[in-house]
Structure 1
Amino acid sequence: MLLKVKVKPSSGRDEILVFKEPDYMEISLRAKPENNEANLALCKFLARVFEKSVDAIKIIQGKTSKRKVLSIEGLTEAELKERFSR
């Protein structure tokens, strides 16, 4: 599944700020946008949220931008909606 993400690095905590169906999220991260720290933190955070391995999450567009497109292996649109409809 492809997921569009807007990242807000250097924030107070790691959290999902906004989820808009079907595939958009805004996420704040404590990590700084230096030395790939925010990208690594984003992948680890989403791996915890979606209960996937870090290797299942790939940044396919926007590695140096706040707006990114990620590929998450093994995640369906139905699972994504179910997780955030609670």
Structure 2
Amino acid sequence: MEIIQVKVKPNSSQQKIEIQEDGTLIVFLRSPPIDGKANEELIKLLSKEFDVSKSCITIRSGRSSKIKRVEIDQ
């Protein structure tokens, strides 16, 4: 189990992940932050990046914030 800090940038023109020097991920998402669409896209993108199923990823805090703490169970 690993908990990472993620900063989300919704409504971006491209979908990508950048890793900062302190280990924080900046995730650019195409989806708007409405009705949980950005959170769904975040989970899908992280599951591909870390090569785990979507069920292994949980947003522990910050569901309605741009800064989130995400647990990845590998």
TM class by shorter chain equals: over 0.9
Identity %: 34
Gaps of 5+ in 1: 75-86
* Contact map agreement 1:43 1:57 (CA 8 A) in 2: yes
- After TM superposition, the runs of 4+ consecutive aligned structure 1 residues lying more than 3 A away are none
Instruction: Compare CA radii of gyration and give the structure with the larger one.
Output: 1
Give the helix-richer structure, 1 or 2: 1
* Contact map agreement 1:19 1:26 (CA 8 A) in 2: yes
* Amino acid aligned to 1:59: I
TM-score, normalized by length of structure 2?
A: 0.92
Gaps of 5+ in 2: none
* Amino acid aligned to 2:32: K
* Contact map agreement 1:2 1:23 (CA 8 A) in 2: no
For residues 28 and 20 of structure 1, the distance between their equivalents in structure 2, rounded to whole angstroms, comes to 13
Q: How many residues align?
A: 73
TM-score, normalized by length of structure 1?
A: 0.80
